[in-house]
A and B are shown apart, each in its own frame.
Chain A
Amino acid sequence: EVQLLESGGGLVQPGGSLRLSCAASGFTFASYAMSWVRQAPGKGLEWVSTIDDSGGSTYYADFVKGRFTISRDNSKNTLYLQMNSLRAEDTAVFYCAKQSTTVTTAFDIWGQGTMVIVSS
């Protein structure tokens, strides 16, 4: 069964850092692009970042502005999102998603999400 399991969310103070992880199973992780999408409480989906299958190409939403870094370890079947300089407006559920193939393809499998709360 194809599965994505996020972890690493929690409560962090403004200006703090968190690293989210997404453990993949049931498919050849190294063959697919992956993405992070967030959803603030009561709001819509917002794309955060995408990485290609090799990790050689990365893409970020404008609001990231150098604060977040997406990466992957294909030997561990794991996707990461390092988040620094967190702000209250970053409070959201963060989902990781597998893409059909390359970075421009649909998000065909989603994890259940991990909650990030930025508050003092």
Chain B
Amino acid sequence: SSVLTQPPSASVAPGKTARITCGGNNIVISSVHWYQQKPGQAPVLVICYDNDRPSGIPERFSGSNSENTATLTISRVEAGDEADYYCQVWDSSSDHWVFGGGTKLTVL
């Protein structure tokens, strides 16, 4: 079954660009979804199907997926973007959903 690897933490200064990676075997053939979770809150879908933004998600959030690595990019980072971010794929070989371990984004 799939295993998704994320860096445990990342940090970025306000106004700069944050990039959070999600690595996995054959991830390029899957659609990757990304969730944001702030402390004490439920997760929120921020990117679906590699690079689609649900309604209400700022254009500053974007995604890409190539060569076994998916990337969530947050441009012009704001203090309110500080959160845990999780990638997710559907593993069709096992009919299981898989989450990455999560990346804690700190805004300096």
Contacts and interface: CB of A to CB of B under 8 A. Distances in A.
B65 to A, nearest CB: 14
A110 B101 contact: no
A47 B42 contact: no
Contacts of B54: 108
B101 A47 contact: no
Interface string A46-82: 1100100000000101100000000000000000000
A111 B42 contact: yes
Interface in B22-40: 31, 33, 35, 37
Contact of B35 (A35, A62, A107): A107
A47 B33 contact: no
A35 B99 CA distance: 13
B102 A44 contact: yes
B95 A59 contact: yes
B86 to A, nearest CB: 5
Interface string A96-110: 000010011011101
